[in-house]
Amino acid sequence: MSTRIPFLKGHGTENDFVIVPDPENAVDLPPAAVAALCDRRAGIGGDGVLHVVRSAAHPEAREMAAGAEWFMDYRNSDGSIAEMCGNGVRVFARYLQYAGHAAEGDLAIATRGGVKTVHLAKDGDITVGMGRARLPEGEVTVSAGGRSWPARNVNMGNPHAVAFVDDLADAGDLLSPPAFSPASAYPDGVNVEFVVDRGPRHVALRVHERGSGETRSCGTGACAVAVAAARRDGVDPAVTGTPVTYTVDVPGGTLVITERPDGEIEMTGPAVIVAEGEIDGEWLKTVVG
């Protein structure tokens, strides 16, 4: 009889994930397996995989085990590894609640970007302490759809280039990754956000994610956009001593981002589990080759 590997499917503002609960880190997930699972025609389909492992059982997370029982081993849909996924960490927390590993209230989750504190609210939304943004100096230009824009380099644990545009359609079909220069700006690739204004402290974005293509939402991207918009608007909570909140519309919903005077950023949004089932282990072995 073939091996059955449990999985769930979930999303946060339509950034969707295949969730693989694997407390003891026993499931082998090489890049080809992740890409096969995320394939929307021949697999389950998703922008990425959330491999749910006990921190103590994962070599990259053992040091965080004392502060966070669970490690989000996040993978992009092409199988590449990323430091952090903002929508993913909310969906990860929702899974832990669904599976009875967590209750309403605060929860610490280990990620490659460090331990994140997540708050599961009664109303169903989830707030994540996303840490501080880094704003490396230097001019960056991004190009897509035959046009180019200056972009703000924002690091949320993972790299982002934020470009303010007149119209979200200006970025074209985003079927291939936007180009950027200088080439040295992002040696490991970059997530690119295209942003328009919707009102006071209210913006909308499209995103092309490193390793996943255009997605319906990006949590770290929404945080990067909120910080870039605030600085563009002349607002820095570290200077004013007052938190600033931006509403960020994404194609799949809305995220609310607050930057505090100490630089800490909080993101609030939904997270939903939509299905669960079993992966045929023999199929997975076949696609991996």
Ligand X SMILES: N[C@@H](CCC[C@H](N)C(=O)O)C(=O)O
- Kindly list the residues in this chain that would bind ligand X in the complex (CB under 6 A): 15, 76, 82, 85-88, 158, 191, 209-212, 215, 218-221
Identify which of residues 56 and 272 has a Cβ nearer to ligand X in the complex: 272
Identify which of residues 8 and 84 has a Cβ nearer to ligand X in the complex: 84
CB of 118 to ligand X, least distance (A): 13
What are the binding residues for substrate?
A: 15, 76, 86-87, 158, 191, 209-210, 219-220
What gap in Å lies between CA 259 and CA 251, rounded to an integer?
22
Active-site annotation, residues: 85, 218
The dihedral through the CA atoms of 26, 156, 164, 252 has a sign that is: positive
Tokens found for residue 62: 């053992």
DSSP strand pairing (70-76 vs 48-54): antiparallel
Number of neighbouring beta carbons within 10 Å of residue 77: 25
Residues 6+ positions from 258 with CB-CB distance below 8 Å: 243, 244, 245, 265, 266, 268
Identify the DSSP state of 136. Answer: -
CB of 76 to ligand X, least distance (A): 5
CB of 63 to ligand X, least distance (A): 22
Of 222, 184, 191, nearest to 82 (Cα)?
A: 191
Identify which of residues 56 and 80 has a Cβ nearer to ligand X in the complex: 80
CB of 11 to ligand X, least distance (A): 11
**Helix H segments across the chain?**
31-38, 86-98, 219-232, 237-240, 281-288
Identify which of residues 25 and 212 has a Cβ nearer to ligand X in the complex: 212
| Rg value, the chain, Cα | 19
Please list the residues that pair with 153 across neighbouring strands.
161
